[in-house]
Structure 1
Amino acid sequence: MTPTHEHPSDGTERARLAPALARAAARLAEAGVASPRVDAELLAAHALGVGRGRLLLIDTVRGNELRRFTELVEERARRIPLQHLLGTAAFRHLELEVGDGVFVPRPETELLAGWGVERTAPGATVVDLCSGTGAIALSIADEAEPGLVIAVERAPAALEYLRRNAAAFGVVRVVEGDVTDPGLLAEYRGRVDVLLCNPPYVPDGTAVPAEVAEHDPAEAVFGGADGLAVIRPVIALAASLLRPGGTVGIEHDDVHGAEVPGLVRADGRFADVVAHRDLAGRPRFATARRR
């Protein structure tokens, strides 16, 4: 993507944006990026400091802007996650800080967060386990009127992002803890209204995209040989923490469409177990009510 130079040394030379975008999209497609045109446009908008929608109004860019755009495209072609290059990930109505060491929230998790928002009554106590960036917890704080949202995370790097993202929400309490510890949040036993969790659930050895394999922390992705190593203790913890009538929602891998609802039923302390699919029709999360 070589600009047309007029003053090569001072960054004021101009180049047309449309051909640069086309070349960038082709480069990303060649590299195997799933959404090359969208990614190219988002990277261009980031390099130019404008919203993506304003690109249609821009005909030419400065040489230094084009060089920055080209650098970003090459990094994306190496399968560095788009969100890491932008520094943020969009989730429902939020822009969350992301980077190395924290799991990038996925669009399909917005469905579980929305389910939780709908079930959070004013003043409710909500727990988000395996919180990561805080995507679910902060969506609850942003869209509902909870009295308290407890966001639990174990990994030190992820906790840094969680604390920064949660700083604007006074109702959110960040807790460092391991969700497989049956004594976690013991002071809230029987007092929680809504419990949500997007745990690591990909079975060990499953092939994943380069962005996931090389940049998402493995402990936030993989959940043991069958993918259920974290989900099993989370179900037991949910039963301990929820008040009678409280609700739980747990995201899972699309291969767990029968297993996770079955595990929730087998616990014996839940009723109204429901399996939910994502927008692509794949099994995605299970919900239930505490007896």
Structure 2
Amino acid sequence: MPDVLDAAEAVLARSGILAPDVDSELIVGHVLGLGRGEVQAARLTGRRLHPRDAALIAELADRRATREPVQHITGVAGFRSLELSVGPGVFVPRPETEQVTQIAIDALLAVPAPSPLAVDLGTGSGAIALSLAKEVPAARVFGVENSVDAFLWAVENSRRVGAANASIIFDDLAHALPELDGTVSVVISNPPYVPDAAVPIDPEVRLFDPAAALYGGEDGLDVVRVLSQAAARLLQPGGTLVIEHGELQGASIRSILSADGWRAPATFPDYTMRDRATTAIRS
């Protein structure tokens, strides 16, 4: 085990992977059916590997060295308390989105109604919608997605998570769920917000995340403008909108929301102290 792990870590380090130890442990754990802690323990005890397993680990390490996301290789991504299926055609959920989701969870928990409604516009893998459903079981949650590939991943994850209070809907966010107009307590979205000319540096993002989940027009805010209108339609007076965005976009989004009649737009940082989410209240 130690030799195999060391070899995999060395391959990943040479390719520029930022955390080669973490990714090598994830790959080994995937092959052996172990968690990272168990992999670390097996390394310390010098566990012997079957040659077939060692060969597969080396093969997967080589794939990761091409900068294919480790989540595509293992087929899963952790998000808050969930383990989600991911792969080609769907945006891999990020740790910073876990904090944005907490804002929506807190807002949903504060709703006095016995069965509050929440909508995740552009749900992708379903990470946000399913987290809301599992962590606020009294809520009814709808995840909306208009990419066929991402929608299929979200439906699979809904089955995987088993959240009976969550529904995954195939529709465009601008027109989705008209039957809920004026009744929703919380709308959250992690829309595409990268400006078209700002091609991401990381190959994992540039080459593997779907373009429709990344790019949001010349200034990155085209979908945010649509989202502002859609959320205003869906939310009840006093309802909360939560938008994830890039670190330099908070002021522009607050301006959009203010012009659309939203109250108290405010921007919040993520755990790296970069601006990451803006909220507003439906008038």
TM-score of the alignment, normalized to the shorter chain, above 0.5: yes
Letter in 2 for 1:52: R
The alignment's TM-score, normalised by the length of structure 1, stands at 0.91
Q: Contact 2:25–2:40 at 8 Å: present in 1 too?
A: no
Report which of the two structures shows the higher radius of gyration computed on alpha carbons: 1
Look up the match of 1:40.
Answer: 24
Consecutive unaligned residues of structure 1, counting only runs of 5 or more, are: 1-16
In the TM superposition, structure 1's runs of 4+ consecutive aligned residues that sit over 3 Å from their partners are: none
Of residues 192, 196, 199, the one that matches 1:200 is 192
- How many pairs were matched up? 272
Look up the match of 1:133.
Answer: 125
Q: Distance in 1 between matches of 2:237 and 2:208?
A: 40
1:280 aligns with 2:280: no
Of residues 112, 135, 154, the one that matches 1:143 is 135
1:161 aligns with 2:153: yes
Q: Distance in 2 between matches of 1:290 and 1:99?
A: 36
Q: Distance in 2 between matches of 1:106 and 1:271?
A: 28
Q: Contact 1:189–1:240 at 8 Å: present in 2 too?
A: yes
Larger helix percent = 2
**In the TM superposition, what are the counterparts of 1:208-219 in structure 2 within 5 Å?**
208=200, 209-219=202-212
**In the TM superposition, what are the counterparts of 1:100-249 in structure 2 within 5 Å?**
100-121=88-109, 122-167=114-159, 168-179=162-173, 181=174, 183-208=175-200, 209-249=202-242
Deviation digits for residues 141-177 of structure 1 (CA, Å, limit 9, x no counterpart): 1111343111100000111111111121111111111
**In the TM superposition, what are the counterparts of 1:75-94 in structure 2 within 5 Å?**
75-94=63-82
Return the offset for 1:55.
1.7
Look up the match of 2:250.
Answer: 257
% identity of equivalent residues: 40
Q: Distance in 1 between matches of 2:244 and 2:277?
A: 4
Q: Distance in 1 between matches of 2:238 and 2:250?
A: 24
Cα-Cα RMSD: 1.2
Consecutive unaligned residues of structure 2, counting only runs of 5 or more, are: none
Q: Distance in 2 between matches of 1:38 and 1:115?
A: 28
Letter in 1 for 2:79: F
Greater mean alpha carbon deviation, residues 102-111 or residues 115-124: 115-124
Q: Distance in 2 between matches of 1:88 and 1:140?
A: 19
Q: Contact 1:120–1:146 at 8 Å: present in 2 too?
A: no
